[in-house]
Structure 1
């Protein structure tokens, strides 16, 4: 698995030049997952999109678990280049970039959970996040925990605001808002506080992303200022 994730494809024995590459295989898997969801990805389905048989595909990647790992790291890509920024704005920008990545490939929310080996792109994201906190006075553990908390918030908002391919309800965000408003217009007595809050709110889940980020960053700023003082 490590060799595959880090671009070290298995050595080939003598014979004809390989018809495909691991990257090409992963790109086909990504296209399928983007269009139909992660459950639609299978070795048989990927082989069908390539000039190889299913059995030949196993010469490049042992199975679906390994394929999804390579797909995930490739789909994430490296973090965008950003100019040097103060730590707070650097972390905010990092979080928004991460959110954009999850919404471009919603299946990443499923494939990047749990204990697993990490590839170079995912580690590059972690490196960029930790780098923003270098020199703030936070310990290494606190820097890593800060990234974990921010990532968890980003993932949660992305999961709430994303329609997963293959699991669509057919509802847009606007449809959901209108439906809720209609229900509350007739059930205001039953849900008085929720009704009042909805009447004075506007916008989308992205407001939740920004609101949560600012509160997390407020807490970090308080912690950091205490250290520097």
Structure 2
């Protein structure tokens, strides 16, 4: 593990009470993370810098380095702050209901903080809250005939679907929807070329059912998991 990863582990998991040197701390990691989230929510992840966050807190950039080694560690703190705790599983719900609720909770997080889509890419050290999200999925699928690797893969698959739709929603802007702009443009050209693309034209002409890619894709993923679970846990062949 390199030094940056070690620093991130220390900040996220060891909760240092004070900076490593200097006088009694006037800041906290929570305040620093909240200031970074405020900048990213308003201007995007690219606008976040040690200088800007320090200025928002009325501190100097150099004083901020006493608490956070650099921007990578700052972003890790921001992710941990913004992602929040996943809602606990509702008593009496089955695995499918739990994973559906989880997916929509994750969608809401990406909607509130679109920069999380960029900040959570690539290999990195997750914090306790982020790891709790993974725990929810793996625990919901425990005892249903799936291997550990398959339960982890299920979490990746569902999160990937949510991310894809959230990225489309971000590209559409605050007043758009993941499919609306695409369907509007598609409808124009397909209407003029319906003879060349009759199947697409017929699908677009059917009422309702559009702009539900999140729901549709999630349901199909869960259908597939359900079929696999049934094969693993169902009755064996009769003699």
TM-score (structure 2 length as normaliser): 0.85
The alignment status of 1:48 with 2:55, answered yes or no, reads yes
Q: Report matched runs for 1:14-33 at 5 Å.
A: 16-33=23-40
Q: Relative contact order (alpha carbons < 8 A, sep ≥ 6): 1 or 2 greater?
A: 1
State the shift of 1:126 in Å.
Answer: 0.6
SS in 1 for 2:125: coil
- Show the counterpart of 1:154: 162
Q: Which runs of 5+ in 1 are unaligned?
A: none
Number of residue equivalences: 224
- Show the counterpart of 2:127: 119
- Show the counterpart of 1:91: 99
Asked whether the equivalents of residues 19 and 51 of structure 1 are also in contact (C-alpha less than 8 Å), the reply is no
The alignment status of 1:219 with 2:224, answered yes or no, reads yes
Distance 1:122 1:203 in 2: 33
Q: Which runs of 5+ in 2 are unaligned?
A: 1-7, 235-239
State the shift of 1:96 in Å.
Answer: 1.2
The alignment status of 1:64 with 2:68, answered yes or no, reads no
Asked whether the equivalents of residues 18 and 67 of structure 2 are also in contact (C-alpha less than 8 Å), the reply is no
- Show the counterpart of 2:142: 134
State the shift of 1:93 in Å.
Answer: 1.1
Q: Report matched runs for 1:165-184 at 5 Å.
A: 172-173=176-177, 174=180, 177-184=183-190
Asked whether the equivalents of residues 169 and 176 of structure 2 are also in contact (C-alpha less than 8 Å), the reply is no
State the shift of 1:132 in Å.
Answer: 0.6
Tell me how large the CA RMSD over aligned residues is. Answer: 2.2
SS in 1 for 2:25: coil
SS in 1 for 2:96: helix
